[in-house]
Amino acid sequence: MLERTNETKASVTAGAALFTRLKALGVDYVFCNSGTDFPPIIEGLAEAAANDIPLPEAIVIPHEHAALGMAHGYYFATGKAQAVILHTNVGLSNGATGAINAATDQVPMLLMSGRTPVMESGRFGARTVPIGWGQEMRDQTALVREACKWDYELRFPEQVGPLLDRAHAIANSSPKGPVYLSLPREALCETVPADGLSAEPTMQPVGAAADRSAIAQAARMLAEARSPLIFAQRGAGSEAGFAALSKLAEEWSIPVCQWWAVATAIATDHPCHVGSDPLPWIEEADVILVLDCLAPWSPDIHVPRGDAKVIHLGPDPLFERFPVRTFRSDLSIGCDTPDGLVALEAEMRGYLHRHVGARMARRKLLAERVPAIRDKIARSAAASHPMTKAHVSKCLSDAIAGKDATVLSELGCPLDPLVLKRHNSWHQEPHSGGLGWSFPTALGMQLADRGRLVVATMGDGSYMFANPVACHQIAEALELPILVVILNNTEWAAVRHSVLGLYPDGYAARANRMPLTSLQPSPDFTKVAEGSRHWAVRVGRAEELPQALADAIRHIEEKRSLALVEVTIG
Ligand SMILES: Cc1ncc(C[n+]2csc(CCOP(=O)(O)OP(=O)(O)O)c2C)c(N)n1
Ligand SMILES: [Mg+2]
């Protein structure tokens, strides 16, 4: 039991200051994976608790990749940056993929890890075990520097408060992303004045409002276009952005294509939602609005008209962090996507009385083509043996209809057959593709929003990349009743398809078993779930799937614990 003291302390260890300051910055959770660099952190946590200082919840996460995934998901559900503290260089390297994913998804988080003690002896906190030598690096931060907007190694204990304020403000500035602070053990062992640690943040993030004249120009270009087209890949940013895009598309009958979407920007049953295929739209378009898309289409396959004008709108419309990305941009509008969409929709209303003929012609075209697109999707999602991913998606869509649900997919259920009508109802793994993302991200979303049905769908490979034993442990420990759906084809099909794409008639294509793609023999994943006392079922036949999904959801609703459905697909 901790001994509680009621007197206000004049000074606390830098470790205690760290947690106190995180709370003041609005951090709810610190996802921790600790080690020998943690004594001042653990002592500081206990010290702050003993002094009744309000703290974020610090929780043990048994794999670093899961810790970052959970911070990612928590941000999806709340819009709030969380903190992750890992163990020196070895913990940080396990978390590096999560940092790359967060950076690509513009998810802010405060990433920290210890730094092995600088001193070999003679100072409190100096090295005591051989890893003190073994874990030292010349540049530990290099492990995550490219994924982080800002990084620093703490020099003095009194820097903790001010630097966390700075880190938090930078992480939350547009475009958002992770920041990294390395924490040398000696500095954390020292004390700092407790005064002001719970005060309001001293630094506010930078937002990005849309430039009015650029919005006016974009509105005119779109209103005057004969065949405008919108690409949305990374969502509309908020409920307001989602509503504005839906209205704009509907009023102007502009097709919205979600090629390789990682978030929903418009309802999948909206009359203007043309699915994921840019063809034939892109070949007809004279004005293209690209909403926060890293790679809006595939330049090798989809070629816009030579005279088409392209507008990019988003917090980082040129995606400056990425070395090669050369999509044409005749007008680049740097702004938070929802603000830009709301402003654009309002601006375009001024043109509604004009260009009526072109709008009506587009409405007619959409009314002809969209039902055909949806028919094709429905046919691809028909029951079959073995089942297809599209069929699993269709069954899941039916199972969650009418529920407050979010579906995550990582080589799991494709978006096209799902009927999803809301912002934040769909996320796919970030375009960095650091696999093992879906399971922990769902756990983080569920932690933030316990009333929501959170569904993590993934391939068998992706499930294994997620360190599933760790993820099931977290779900049981924190009572997070997500639904996990594994689409098991006992292989890395994406890798096989990419070989076939490049060498359709090559040796690998003709081999009995393509090298480096098989995951046979497949483990029985239901046993992994049962190891953590989770409900699990394996489904091999299409007729059984709707009932299995209904049973899983009933289990979640009644027992509030994780359910796993492993589906055998072809
Ligand atoms: C961390 C990481 N390692 C490797 C890859 C390369 N990779 C991309 S897709 C894929 C296969 C995924 O397999 P699975 O989840 O079973 O889905 P499937 O392709 O079978 O549908 C692999 C290995 C990656 N993206 N991320
Ligand atoms: Mg697979």
CA 433 to ligand 1 center in whole angstroms: 8
Residue 2 pLDDT? 38
Index of the ligand 1 atom closest to the CA of residue 491: 20
pLDDT value of position 7? 46
Prediction pTM value: 0.97
Other Cβ atoms within 10 Å of 505 Cβ, number: 7
Closest atom of ligand 1 to CA, residue 459: 15
| Ligand having the closest approach to the CA of 389 | 1
Question: Residue 16 in contact with residue 188, Cβ under 8 Å?
Answer: no
| Separation between Cα atoms, residue 197 and residue 16, nearest integer Å | 10
Residues measured by CB to lie within 5 Å of ligand 2, the ion: 459-461, 489
Check residue 49 and give its pLDDT.
Answer: 87
Exposed, middle or buried, 523 (CB in 10 Å: 0-12/13-18/19+)?
Answer: middle
Task: Please give the Cα distance from 274 to 277 (Å, whole number).
Answer: 7
Best mutation site among 393, 437, 439, 462 for ligand 1, i.e. most ligand atoms within 8 A of its Cβ? 462
Distance 136 CA to ligand 1 centre (A): 32
Closest-CA residue to 444 (of 29, 94, 100, 140): 29
Cα-to-centroid distance, 331 and ligand 2 (Å): 41
Ligand 1 atom nearest the C-alpha of 410 is 15
Query: What residue owns the CA closest to ligand 1's atom 7?
Result: 495
Question: Tens-of-pLDDT digits for all 570 residues of the chain?
Answer: 334 444 457 899 898 999 999 999 999 999 999 998 889 889 988 988 898 888 999 999 999 999 999 999 999 999 999 999 999 999 999 999 999 999 999 999 999 999 999 999 999 999 999 999 999 999 999 999 999 999 999 999 999 999 999 999 999 999 999 999 999 999 999 999 999 999 999 999 999 899 999 999 999 999 999 999 999 999 999 999 999 999 999 999 999 999 999 999 999 999 999 999 999 999 999 999 999 999 999 999 999 999 999 999 999 999 999 999 999 999 999 999 999 999 999 999 999 999 999 999 999 999 999 999 999 999 999 999 999 999 999 999 999 999 999 999 999 999 999 999 999 999 999 999 999 999 999 999 999 999 999 999 999 999 999 999 999 999 999 999 999 999 999 999 999 999 999 999 999 999 989 999 999 999 999 999 999 999 999 999 999 999 999 999 999 999 999 999 999 999
Give the ligand whose atoms come closest to the C-alpha of residue 438: 1
Half-sphere exposure at residue 210, Cβ-oriented, CA atoms within 13 angstroms: 27
Atom number, ligand 1, closest to the C-alpha of residue 519: 16
Q: In ligand 1, which atom is closest to the CA atom of 389?
A: 21
| Assigned token pair, 176 | 């958002």
Atom 5 (ligand 1) nearest CA: 435
Which protein residues are within 6 Å of ligand 1, measured from CB?
97, 411, 433-435, 458-462, 465, 489, 491-495
What residue has token string 């003709």?
510
The CA distance from 320 to 431, in Å, is 15
User: 460: CA distance to ligand 2 center in Å?
Assistant: 5
Q: Which ligand is nearest to the CA of 437?
A: 1
Distance 530 CA to ligand 1 centre (A): 24
Ligand 2 centroid from CA 462, angstroms:
7
- Ligand positioned closest to the Cα atom of 411: 1
Top mutation candidate among 93, 101, 393, 411 for ligand 1, by most atoms within 8 Å of CB: 411
Q: How far is the CA of 431 from the centre of ligand 1 (A)?
A: 13
Structure tokens at 566: 């492993």
Distance CA(382)–CA(379), nearest Å, equals 5
CA atoms within 13 A on the CB side of 72: 31
CA-97 nearest atom, ligand 1: 1
Ligand 1 atom with the smallest distance to the CA of 464 is 15
Between the CA of 495 and the centroid of ligand 1 the distance, in Å, is 7
pLDDT at 8: 56
- Residue 5 has a pLDDT of 45
